[in-house]
Structure 1
Amino acid sequence: MSYRAVLRTPHALRTFLAALVGRLSYGVVFVSLTVAITVATGSYAVAGGAIALFGLGGVLVAPLRAGLVDRYGPRRVLPPLAVTYAGLLAGLAATTWRPGTPGWVLIVLAAVAGAAAPPLGPVMRAMWSQLLPDEAGRQRAFALDTVVEELLFVTGPLVAGLCIAAGAPAAGVALAAALVLTGTLAMVSSPVARAWPRVEAGAVVAVRVNRARLEPVLVASGLGLGLGALGLLIVAFATERDQTAAVAWIEAALAAGSAVGGIAYGARTWAASQRTQLALLVVALAGVLAVAGLAPGVAALAAAAALAGLFVAPTLTIAYLLADRSVPAAARTRAGTWVNTAFNAGSSGGSAAVGLLISRAPLPVCFAAAAIPLLLSAVLPALHERVDQQVEADPGAEHDDDRLEHLAGEAAG
């Protein structure tokens, strides 16, 4: 199935475009809100605290929001979330349009807004699984979704920059509110939302944590740690050479590489299992990251970033696919949300950790250290694949969870 065939699936293009409009809000809001609060209060501390709580609110409440969607469906859960979130962003836009609002008010509004943000990405991936039950179609859809989502987080700050250049950063916050409300309402009006898998009244779909479900979460966390560290390392590398403006070009190279890698991955069928692919991609990304700090200049680092990017979108795509496949249909939103949350939390942790390391170690050592979480996250899929191969060769063997413990013990020894 080609990408064109994926988008020509009944109701797919309409639903996907609506989701993209809503998800663009998240690309616009962070830069807009940071600058708007800084300008309104004159305090970087207030702006930093507000943005931190905005992000933390989203991370902490994400599993709850996803569980509500799984249980009651997007048509009943997403509109109230979108209206609440958009209303709070509108309030932030109004209170930051001119100076004078107390900082604590902005911090509280930002924290509550983050907690109310509708989970449009996880819901869209669950809808892709409804639309395309076959593995090949779902692979292409998830790859396309991952690539476009990354591009939204490149486009969003540019849109926010236009509002800032016009002297109205709060307008970017208001635009984010309009985008999420419009996109969400259009998304839930799709027939795909009406066909959401129903959960019987009073029933609770429990998702037991096991290695199959933990695996994509750990990989996403390792990927987030590595990329979060890389973002700050790029800034330090360019600043050390008095070429801070080159940061944007290096980040663009990373995004471009990821887009190319994601589209290429989704366009063909691969002989190796998804777990083998995942382990190989993560190890390859770790290898590029480990040597990137040896680049002689910013042009070479941009080339290394583009090469690293080739492995980013495919890794995320497979993580989402494995999470989606490991749960029943009535738990898909939660599964995708855990992967997304792990990646975002890892990204924040990676930035914080490498920020402490930069002042204590040479940059090449910092780049190599940033690759360690990636290498560690590749262990579980590699062991899991080995277990599956041994069980397939010897169906009467011991239970694969017990065998995995045995193999993990061997690896530790």
Structure 2
Amino acid sequence: MSRKLLLWALVAFTSKAPVAMAPLALVFSSRQSPAGYSLGASLASAYVVGEVVGAPLLGSRLSRSRMKPQLSVGLLAGALAFGALPFVRSAPAPVLIGLAFLAGAAPAASPGGIRAILTRLVTDESVPRALSAETTLTQITWAAAPGLVVLLALQVHAGAPLMLGALLAAAASILVLRLPEPPELESATSAVASMTRTLFSGWPVYLTSAASMAMLATAELVLPALLEERQVAVGWSAPLLAGFALASAAGAVCYGLRTWPGSVQAQSLVFLTAMAGCLVLVTVLPGMPGIAAGLLLAGIFQSGVMVTRNLSLRERLPARAHAAAYSVMYAVGGLGYSLAASFSAMALNLASPSAAILGGVAITVLITAVSAIAERNSVGNAIRGFR
């Protein structure tokens, strides 16, 4: 650890916390309005759509000019949108939806840009450990965010979580300017191969991100219904999901402690398959102990997916495309989460919660298989080209 890395960790936390808090904070901010939870769900959906749209559009520009000012402006715009929402709660729904969209879209390039800065602050040999540390920080933040939102919304004010998110995003917009500016990474071939084509070449890795987030959506959104089916209090869903996130943080620490056999691409596919198997266990093992065991194991393997997919993308694409590629992967992961959420909602209307989870796992396994075949073909083509 150094001063630069500690500063980076502070920037990462202050930029990630508003993202982790946003969906639930938007729901609580609208709870007492005439439209109630319906409006809150619409605002949360608009926020996620903003992230999905903003990440590739803004992230693709990070490699063209200085990165830090762009990240700072995006975070500041997101902070202003977050801060405005509690003060215009009585405004028409389209205005609120527009602000929620802006809050998601404006800083959407920051996860990819801040990760790219991290990988250039350390040596190549330390990148896996650094990305493991980032995953640990992310999972701890996600584990703490729901409880903090509920506490502030119920004990302080319905708009307090959004105001805290605005303050954290504003702090991140200032702190990011103190980080070292990544060097310009333009190569002689950049004029020949367009950035769009370069980014698209990483699509098998993006698929693993979509698969991982689809499984996460299936686990999170079907869990309350599964608990009811097993005659377990629905209130247990919060500590179970917090345990899932903390197990993922522990798994990230374990991954960073040593070098693992096989390529990062193979590791990613193994972790994805293991995570799917653990979610199947959730539907088979009896009672809450069985659900908890399956979720904790799935969380451990999910962290491996998160680290290895970042390493895979870093190996697959040139350095000048890393920041943009991380942003595209972030957007594809959000899309996978949204599609799985829609599937889960339909499945719960037609079948049992256990069947809904199994259906989500089956789709994820199919996506993983497509990604594995694409990775194998790309490696084969590279070998033939070398010969």
Task: Please report the TM-score for the alignment, with normalisation by the length of structure 1.
Answer: 0.85
SS class of match (2:260): coil
Output the amino acid matched with 2:175: A
1:46-195, aligned counterparts within 5 Å? 46-96=39-89, 100-134=90-124, 136-190=125-179, 192=180, 194-195=181-182
How much has 1:362 moved relative to structure 2? 3.1
Moved more, 380-389 or 251-260: 380-389
Among 364, 379, 384, which residue is 1:374 paired with? 364
In the alignment, what sits opposite 1:215? 204
- 1:287-314, CA deviations, whole angstroms, 9 ceiling, x for partnerless residues? 1222321121112101111011111011
- Check if 1:22 corresponds to 2:15: yes
Counterpart CA distance in 2 for 1:17 and 1:33 is 24
In the alignment, what sits opposite 2:253? 263
1:281-296, aligned counterparts within 5 Å? 281-296=271-286
Output the amino acid matched with 2:45: A
- Check if 1:310 corresponds to 2:300: yes
In the alignment, what sits opposite 1:403? none
- 1:232-264, CA deviations, whole angstroms, 9 ceiling, x for partnerless residues? 221111122141111112212211221121111
- Assess if the C-alpha contact under 8 Å between 1:291 and 1:364 holds in 2: no
- Check if 1:353 corresponds to 2:340: no
Identity %: 21
How much has 1:182 moved relative to structure 2? 0.5
How much has 1:356 moved relative to structure 2? 0.9
- Assess if the C-alpha contact under 8 Å between 1:219 and 1:377 holds in 2: yes
How much has 1:378 moved relative to structure 2? 2.9
> Judging changes above 3 Å, is the alpha-carbon distance between structure 1 residues 362 and 50 closer, same or farther for their aligned structure 2 residues?
closer
Moved more, 322-331 or 52-61: 322-331
- Assess if the C-alpha contact under 8 Å between 1:54 and 1:110 holds in 2: yes
Counterpart CA distance in 2 for 1:104 and 1:156 is 27
Output the amino acid matched with 1:149: T
> Judging changes above 3 Å, is the alpha-carbon distance between structure 1 residues 17 and 163 closer, same or farther for their aligned structure 2 residues?
same
> Judging changes above 3 Å, is the alpha-carbon distance between structure 1 residues 89 and 41 closer, same or farther for their aligned structure 2 residues?
farther
Output the amino acid matched with 1:197: E
How much has 1:205 moved relative to structure 2? 5.2
- Assess if the C-alpha contact under 8 Å between 2:143 and 2:243 holds in 1: no
> Judging changes above 3 Å, is the alpha-carbon distance between structure 1 residues 385 and 270 closer, same or farther for their aligned structure 2 residues?
farther
Superposed CA RMSD in Å reads: 2.5
How much has 1:345 moved relative to structure 2? 1.4
- 1:159-212, CA deviations, whole angstroms, 9 ceiling, x for partnerless residues? 22221122402121111111011012102222x2x2332559x96952425886
- Assess if the C-alpha contact under 8 Å between 1:226 and 1:373 holds in 2: no
> Judging changes above 3 Å, is the alpha-carbon distance between structure 1 residues 250 and 206 closer, same or farther for their aligned structure 2 residues?
same
Count of residue pairs the alignment pairs up: 382
Output the amino acid matched with 1:158: G
Counterpart CA distance in 1 for 2:12 and 2:379 is 39
In the alignment, what sits opposite 1:236? 225
How much has 1:320 moved relative to structure 2? 1.2
SS class of match (1:208): helix
- Assess if the C-alpha contact under 8 Å between 2:8 and 2:118 holds in 1: no
In the alignment, what sits opposite 1:343? 333
- Assess if the C-alpha contact under 8 Å between 1:73 and 1:198 holds in 2: no
- Assess if the C-alpha contact under 8 Å between 1:74 and 1:123 holds in 2: yes
- Assess if the C-alpha contact under 8 Å between 1:224 and 1:343 holds in 2: yes
- 1:141-173, CA deviations, whole angstroms, 9 ceiling, x for partnerless residues? 111111211221221222222211224021211
Stretches of structure 1 lacking an aligned partner (at least 5 in a row)? 1-6, 401-413
SS class of match (1:152): helix
How much has 1:115 moved relative to structure 2? 2.0
Counterpart CA distance in 2 for 1:119 and 1:90 is 20
Moved more, 112-121 or 125-134: 112-121
- Assess if the C-alpha contact under 8 Å between 2:15 and 2:75 holds in 1: no
Output the amino acid matched with 2:141: L
In the alignment, what sits opposite 1:320? 310
- Assess if the C-alpha contact under 8 Å between 1:213 and 1:323 holds in 2: yes
1:269-280, aligned counterparts within 5 Å? 269-280=259-270
- Assess if the C-alpha contact under 8 Å between 1:278 and 1:378 holds in 2: no
- Check if 1:38 corresponds to 2:38: no
Task: Please report the TM-score for the alignment, with normalisation by the length of structure 2.
Answer: 0.90
- Assess if the C-alpha contact under 8 Å between 1:28 and 1:160 holds in 2: yes
